[in-house]
Amino acid sequence: MVAEVEVRIESDPRRLRFVRAVVGRSCRALGAGDEAAEALVLAVNEAVANVMRHAYGGDVDQPIRIRCRRAGDMVEVLICDHGKSGDVLSERIDPPDELRSGGRGLFLIRSLVDEFEFRSKDGSNRMHLRKRVPVLAGGG
């Protein structure tokens, strides 16, 4: 089965709302229940916000691609940019210090998804987020 959705935006934070709406509906249409879809929406929002803030350093006109598809018993979302790569995988994953204001994005992402991958290669950064969902009955 091929059925996937790719959302393309510029790195403007005002696009986050658009991303949440379309990614949420796409994950549901790919078989995620309400809870899994909401978790993915939260996680994707954080991942895309991180790209805007860190990979693109606040530039609002750089391209970001978000692709949603089914991968076995998971719904998978790929977030792709060509900005500055960070050492995302080795960032702290402890619950953030109570009154620190930042530093909660990666923690949230890891709490919300079942699988989390990050790769940088040839100037492009790719984060994969995967969440287990019920097995599809029939045509899905």
Partner 1 sequence: MRVDTVHFGDVAVVRVEGDADMATSPELREAVFDVIGARAGGTVVVNLSGVPYIDSSAVATLIECLREASSGSVRFRLAGLNDGPLKVLRLTRLVDVFEVHDSEESAIRA
- Contact residues for partner 1, defined by CB under 8 A: 12-14, 16-17, 20, 38, 42, 45-46, 49, 52-53, 95-96, 98-102, 104-105, 107-108, 111-112, 139
- Is 71 a binding residue for a copy of itself by CB under 8 A? The answer is no
When the beta carbons of 31 and 105 are compared against ligand ADP, the nearer one is 105
Three-class SS of residue 78? Answer: strand
* C-alpha closest to that of 77 among 122, 46, 102: 46
Among the candidate windows 27-35, 75-83, 90-98, 117-125, which touches a copy of itself by CB under 8 A? Answer: 27-35
| C-alpha distances in Å from residue 87, one per residue of 6, 66, 113, 120 | 25, 20, 19, 10
Closest approach, Cβ 103 to a copy of itself, in A, equals 26
Please tell me the distance from the alpha carbon of residue 86 to that of residue 12, in angstroms, as a whole number. 19
